Amino acid sequence: MAIFLTGATGYVGAHVAALLLENHKDQLNLLVRAKTAREAEQRLWKSMQLHLDFPRFYEFLKSRVHVFCGDLTEKHFGLSNDDYRRLAETTDSVIHCAASLNRKSEKTCLNVNLRGTLEVIKLAQTARDLHGLRRFSDVSTVAICGQRFSEVVQEDESLDWNRSDYDPYARTKKFCEHMVAELLPDVPHTVFRPSIILGDSRFAETTQFDMVRSFVFLAGLPMLPFRPTDQIDIVNVDFVAESIVTIHQKEKPLHDIYHLSSGKSSQTFKVLTDAIAKFQDKNAPVFLPFLEKPFTKLNNWLADNFRNNPIGQSATLLKVFLPYITFNTVFDNERITGETGKKPVPFSEYCYPLLQFSRAGNFKYPHTDWPGDVSGAGSIPLNNSISQVSVARS
């Protein structure tokens, strides 16, 4: 039996997969959007090399990983009836990490987040009906809380259907939580809501740069249009992934919903900017909160009119994230810290190495190709590592 993990080629999903492979004994069923086994292997290697060297990765691929080449948004993931049944028969729990973080496109969020989650739920229902399902873990987001200002939000107070949402991502993820609760009422299910995920506290390298670009841009400004005492809830991805794995593997977690956040310990803008200034031996920026509205208007204008140059691209990203930066809202994390005994690492302690790595690499991770002849990557024996499944639909 295996854990069915979606999103293993994504940032959080790859962290979760690596932890499960290194620290647990479970087999993993991975859905990878690919047309061939060769493409799937290469995509997995690209996502996992942040965590594993190639010999270790290849060892897991041969012994404990079962890859299903498919598409989250297709019926039965685009698999043949036999392969879909094999996936259901061998799945005893689900960790659903896959999602579209495209906060601008309603269409993309509807397709990936809503239709995709519905297909994962249907797979879970089939597995439940065949042999029972141990747990369904849904990786959501604190963004489902809707528009807020200067609050400390508890888990059971986050979902409020009467509040407006900031973007399609938040809106669709909110409904995904609702679908899991409504369609799997007899399956133990857990909802994880990470806050703003920025970097790994253990090393500077990252493969996820959208929010990092905004952070680096803001870190380079001599003036900031924010209130210095406002808190910003940033959490390290290693804390998020370890929390997901720990709770998912427990027989009886204490709660159904967990905020994976820095909570009341979230640092203020001033603490973060002072830390960066100290690392760089420079003066900290000046805070001019009265410029927030003019700054927002200017940024939005740059985003709308200079989309094809670096300034416009940075402005576009900042336009998306500004509501989450300026709403001075944090998400209580006492459930997860109390149950696991682990706390997130303050962003000020690892933000500068992340900034340096991102700037030095021009916001790109130096991926390495499959060792040796890349064209032979697909020649791996398809015994226990890659299931002979149907090609994903285009």
Distance CA 375, CA 343 (A): 44
> Does residue 251 carry a pLDDT above 50?
yes
Query: For residue 304, what pLDDT band results from cuts at 50, 70 and 90?
Result: confident
pLDDT in tens, 178-192: 999 999 999 999 999
Specify burial of residue 378 (Cβ count, 10 A radius: 0-12, 13-18, 19+): middle
> Who has greater pLDDT, 59 or 310?
59
**Residue 390 three-state SS:** coil
pLDDT in tens, 169-180: 999 999 999 999
Query: For residue 373, what pLDDT band results from cuts at 50, 70 and 90?
Result: low
> Does residue 292 carry a pLDDT above 80?
yes
In the DSSP assignment, the letter for residue 64 is T
In the DSSP assignment, the letter for residue 38 is H
Nearest to 336 by CA among 195, 188, 143, 208: 195
Sorted by sequence, the CB contacts under 8 Å of residue 7 that are 6+ apart come out as 13, 96, 97, 98, 99, 139
How far the first Cα of the chain sits from its last, in Å, is 30
Distance CA 169, CA 182 (A): 20
Q: Do residues 120 and 138 lie in contact, with contact meaning Cβ atoms separated by under 8 Å?
A: no
Q: Do residues 153 and 138 lie in contact, with contact meaning Cβ atoms separated by under 8 Å?
A: no
pLDDT in tens, 21-30: 999 999 999 9
Distance CA 140, CA 179 (A): 12
pLDDT attached to residue 390: 30
> Does residue 329 carry a pLDDT above 90?
yes
State the average pLDDT for the chain. Answer: 91
Average pLDDT, integer, range 272-283: 94
Query: For residue 388, what pLDDT band results from cuts at 50, 70 and 90?
Result: very low
Q: Do residues 262 and 346 lie in contact, with contact meaning Cβ atoms separated by under 8 Å?
A: yes
* C-alpha Rg value of the chain to the nearest Å: 21
> Does residue 394 carry a pLDDT above 80?
no
